[in-house]
Amino acid sequence: MKFFDYIKESFVSLSNIRDHIDTEAAERNIRTNVYLKGPNVLILAFSIVIASVGLNINSTAVIIGAMLVSPLMGPIIGLGLSGGINDASLFRDSVWNLLIMVLISLAASALYFLISPLALVNPTELEARTSPSIFDVLIALFGGAAGILELSRKEKGTVISGVAIATALMPPLCTAGYGIAHLSARFFFGAMGLFTINAVFIALASYVGVKIFKFKEVQFVDEKKARRTRAVAAVIVMLIIGGSIWSAVRIVRMNKFEISAEAFVAANRTLDKAYIYDHEVDGYHRSLEVKVAGRKLSEESLSALMLKAETYGIKPGELVVTETSTEVDDGSPDRIATLYERTEHEIARRDARIDYLQDKLDSLEMFNALSEHVAKEVSVQYPAVSEIVLARGRAVSADSLTVRPKTTIIVRTSKAMPENERGKLTEWLAVRIDDPEAEIIIK
């Protein structure tokens, strides 16, 4: 029994968090960060510029920097606190300051993308902020929970920084600003949807945390006003919860449709005397477009394809078949399958070739960088050296005609070097480039 008592006591000790919570200090901290004034104004401006530049140049590292310095978490957690303690004044202030922050962020990012001379060659970071998923809901929910726990505990750590990175509030606003600058409804509404999901679920998690940790509620002198305020707070919380559930359900359905669509395409690449060579999935509007090449599909084949789609949960109105008619003399299914396999093989072969050439290019760039560093180091250690040439090629043996890689280094001097210095330089170069078989010529 003592063993089980020990286990129970250990579990209680590990799970006990009330001894580490300071709700009064947490409330003061949250209230302070709600308002957009003083340093927060400049910090918001800096984070907007950092995030916009990061999205513009497609740099994940720069975007993470913007997440770290952004003050947007303040009023969102303030919303959760105001609902938890029935503080109508704090609720109004949180909404107002969040609205101001959002408008400033949208205006600044839109202005940046309008005047930026940089072209978006590969806007993957922007694209990533236009399609909310169930993972965004989970990240915002648990990120908000981690945030309110970090703010409430006595000993502060680095959790808030992690929450800021995980929930990523600033990049969606900058993406929406890009949508405004380029009049793109897809970018604007997609990004604002992601921002709204993040903000709502962070506020919801904060509200639950405030209730669990039993923050001190606002005391009213007028009981009638107290009941009215609590009723309004309850309605707002219920609306947030209802909206959160609706968003979560919609996103789950969207993800389920996307998974089903991908599975359907993978299982039906070959269609009688044609094949699916490309497809586009729009989970938000529940639409799947398949692009078909080969002999034109008959009515029976189209009907059969629609029936197969229904087994994957895709209704006939949600499947669009776009045909590129290419009549084939021998339109047998085996020929179509062979054509598809050859296409896949050719793509794989080209990808392997690209990877090989990329490795060669990386190796060449590394050698060029090494050559520059070696030349600078030699000029500092040996002032008599006027020029150094590093070359990498292939040596062919005259006897066996074997080919092997070889590095040659030619060192030219402005004046004669003593023999001992020549020996030291030769040994140093062989070690520095990590090639004991390198041919080193000192002139």
Q: Which range, of 173-187, 282-296, 396-410, 420-434, averages the lowest pLDDT? A: 396-410
Contacts with 114 (C-beta within 8 Å, 6 or more apart), sequence order = 181
What was the pLDDT predicted at 96?
92
Confidence category of residue 157, pLDDT binned at 50, 70, 90: low
> What confidence tier does 329 reach under pLDDT thresholds 50, 70, 90?
very low
Confidence (pLDDT) at 25 = 81
Which residue would you say has higher pLDDT here, 303 or 151? Answer: 303
Pairing label, strands 439-442, 287-294: unpaired
Work out the average pLDDT over 406-419: 80
Q: Taking residues 256-264, report their average pLDDT.
A: 88
Residue 162's nearest CA partner among 135, 175, 144 is 144
Lowest mean pLDDT among 10-14, 166-170, 326-330, 404-408: 326-330
Tally of CB atoms within 10 A around 430: 17
Written as six digits, the tokens of 231 are 């009723």
Task: Kindly report which listed range (189-193, 328-332, 369-373) carries the lowest average pLDDT score.
Answer: 328-332
Output the CA–CA distances (angstroms, integers) from residue 137 to 101, 144, 241, 265, in the order listed. Answer: 22, 11, 13, 27
Nearest to 382 by CA among 420, 326, 339: 420
Cα–Cα distance for residue pair 396/379, rounded to 1 Å: 32
| The token pair that represents 88 in the structure block | 């109508």
pTM of the model: 0.57
What residues form DSSP beta bridges with 321?
Answer: 290
pLDDT band at 328 (very low <50, low <70, confident <90, very high): very low
**Is the pLDDT at 374 greater than 60, yes or no?**
yes
Taking the C-alpha atoms of residue 252 and residue 283, their distance in angstroms, rounded to an integer, is 10
What is the dihedral sign for C-alpha 243, 244, 245, 248? positive
- What percentage of residues in the chain have a pLDDT greater than 70? 77
Share of the chain above pLDDT 90, in %: 1
What DSSP state is assigned to residue 266? H
